[in-house]
Amino acid sequence: MEKVKHKIIVMSGKGGVGKSTVAVNLARMLEHKGKHVGILDVDLCGPSIPKLTGLDGRQLFQSSSGWVPVYTESHLQNTISPSPSSSPAPTSTTTTREMKGMAVVSVQFLLDSQDTPVIWRGPKKTGMINQFVNNVNWGETMDYLIIDTPPGTSDEHIAVLEYLQKHGVDGAVLVTTPQEVSISDVRKEISFCKSGKIPILGIFENMSGFVCPHCSECTNIFSSEGGKLLAEDTDVPFLGKLPIDPQLTQACEKGQNYVKMNPTSTSLLAISLFCDDLIQKENK
């Protein structure tokens, strides 16, 4: 974990708000922008990250250096190096190397099948989280680790915070939907973060409108502005709205990389801008 530069926790007080989808696309977007990224899935009773990343059926193994993550597809990356200043003519050299895909760790990789439930009491849950936080070999360097948590403020959250204390955490990204029933629970999550002294990086308002697959017009089918008003009321940054996009939903159901398929999608504009801001701060 000490080789991971930045750690971001994705949280929500309410289940079913698309938290894991936001976590995956946040990681995908950072990867698309050239960062080495991993996802740690600590939603032990509802681990959906393997399906969303197309890694269903894969297994997690242990090595002498710890748990070995499961990786998504590798890709080629071109690096352009300018010639030395002493060179008589300005030229550049392009080097192509194979980069590993996104690293993923989830309890789902340890289960017999997708239908196997995790029926564990608190101590066993916290023991598993301790293993995942302290005993995973994330590689030589990792720029960002996105930690997907279960809804609420349960044992898993407390364990993650306790075990991350010595490693440090950049902050939490909160996910809500526009409806009051979700906002009231996310408000509790904000209180939890403040009491635990976790910096809150901001709030995404997910499922904010519906993007027509034919004309791309966005229509509010639920209430609107709930996440923005919550952010203003609690003095937390508002990161933007993420509409319901059938194409994005379909890609996630199939475990496909929607960011790679549609890098300029307006449905992920808020996530893209947030990633730009993270990278800009990193480079200062």
Helix (H) or strand (E) holding 215: none
pTM comes to 0.88
Higher pLDDT residue, 110 or 85? 110
Q: Mean pLDDT across the stretch 47-65?
A: 93
Q: Reply yes or no on whether the pLDDT at 143 is more than 80.
A: yes
Lowest mean pLDDT among 90-94, 184-188, 231-235, 263-267: 90-94
- pLDDT at site 79: 53
Question: Does residue 242 contact residue 204 with C-beta atoms inside 8 Å?
Answer: yes
Task: Give the orientation angle of helix 19-32 with respect to helix 269-283, to 10 degrees.
Answer: 50
Please state, in angstroms and rounded to a whole number, the distance separating the CA atoms of residues 252 and 53.
7
- pLDDT at site 160: 87
Tens digits of residue pLDDT in 123-135: 899 999 999 999 9
What tokens were used for 164? 């991350």
- pLDDT at site 37: 96
Q: Reply yes or no on whether the pLDDT at 76 is more than 60.
A: no
Counting residues of the chain whose pLDDT is more than 90, the rounded percentage is 58
